[in-house]
Structure 1
Amino acid sequence: MIHQVLLLILATGSFWVLTEGQDSYSQLTELEKKGVDLALQNLYSHPSTQHHFLFFKTLDMVHTEGGFGESFVYHNFFAKATTCAKEIENPDPKKCRFRNDRPLVDCVVCYMGLSDNIARETKPYVSCVRRPALTKEVKTNRQQQCEDDSKQT
């Protein structure tokens, strides 16, 4: 009986964590979702990436509005590996459960936006690092790169 209760609690908790990540993603603006998608595509381009990743949660975000529909977005978020292989396009979040045996990936993306799109004239900055490899130097370099990019606007 106790094993069944523990199993039920674990199953409910896993579903809640999966739902939490997807709910957070659905609350992003269209422009912010495009930045997250760009960072995840960058993550998939690495040969060492074997699993599909999903947005997990925002750590920090600065969305600065400019004139004429322009804005600058800085978004630091966690991505988390799922049970699905990276080759699966548009995986069903109900089937691709978050894995708890892999480190979180800390991503930063900063870019110029024009309405709901990433501006084509500028090159977005993307940096995704698995948590064990995230150093103070990496954080400093990210911040400097995004500050430099924001000044070019």
Structure 2
Amino acid sequence: MAALFLWLLLAAGALLPPAEAQEEYDRLPNEFKKAADLGLAQQNSRGKGKHHFLYFKSLMRSDIQPGSGVLYLYHHFYLKATRCPKGTVDTSNCPFRTNRPEIDCAVCYKAILGTIQAWPEPYVSCTHKPALTEAKKNARVDHCNRMGYSSGAPGGMADPVRNDPPFY
């Protein structure tokens, strides 16, 4: 009987909407929301998969503001599949799937006065968490660092020897 009660509690919890994740998304500064939106757009537009994805949580956020309204931003976060079909517009009642791993995303971009620039092209890298390798993590950092250096941003966005995250 106790096992049945526990199972019912777990099942009910799995059906709740992802309110906490939405609250965390709502608390993000606008620049970091834009980065999360780029990751969501990429993941939700992929051909394979039937489920809609939502923002789940931030792992790291950093930025450099060298002046004149210029911003170099890096956002590392998770997306998670929901039980709603791909293309769902009203996601307020889309519970997260508990049987799928998170999608690990890293996004970096340059913005001027709040507008994401086309050059250098924003970088969006989203990978199923179990498939994310150290080599892929390093490639993300390297790409974001090159983006800043090629744009004339101040140096030292990441220490390649220590593999620090970008923009530190």
- Give yes or no for TM over 0.5: yes
- Cα displacement string for residues 43-99 of structure 1 (whole angstroms, at most 9, x for unaligned residues): 1232123211111011111121121221111011000000111122x3322x11000
Aligned to 2:18: 18
Q: Structure 1: which 5+ residue stretches go unaligned?
A: none
| Normalised TM-score (structure 1) | 0.86
What SS does the aligned partner of 1:149 have?
A: helix
Length-normalised TM-score, structure 2: 0.79
| Runs (5+) with no aligned partner, structure 2 | 154-168
1:138 aligns with 2:136: yes
The share of aligned pairs that are identical, in percent, is: 36
Could you tell me which amino acid in structure 2 is paired with residue 43 of structure 1? Q
- Structure 1 or 2, whichever has the larger Rg, is 2
Q: Aligned runs of 1:99-110 on 2, under 5 Å?
A: 99-110=97-108
Query: Distance in 1 between the 2:30 and 2:49 partners?
Result: 26
Say what the alpha-carbon RMSD is for the aligned residues: 2.1
C-alpha distance in 2 between matches for 1:98 and 1:119: 32
Partner residue, 1:49:
49
What residue number does 2:156 align with?
A: none
Q: How many residues align?
A: 150
Structure 1: 4+ residue segments shifted above 2 A = 1-15, 90-93, 114-117, 119-122
CA contact (8 A) 2:70 2:112 kept: yes
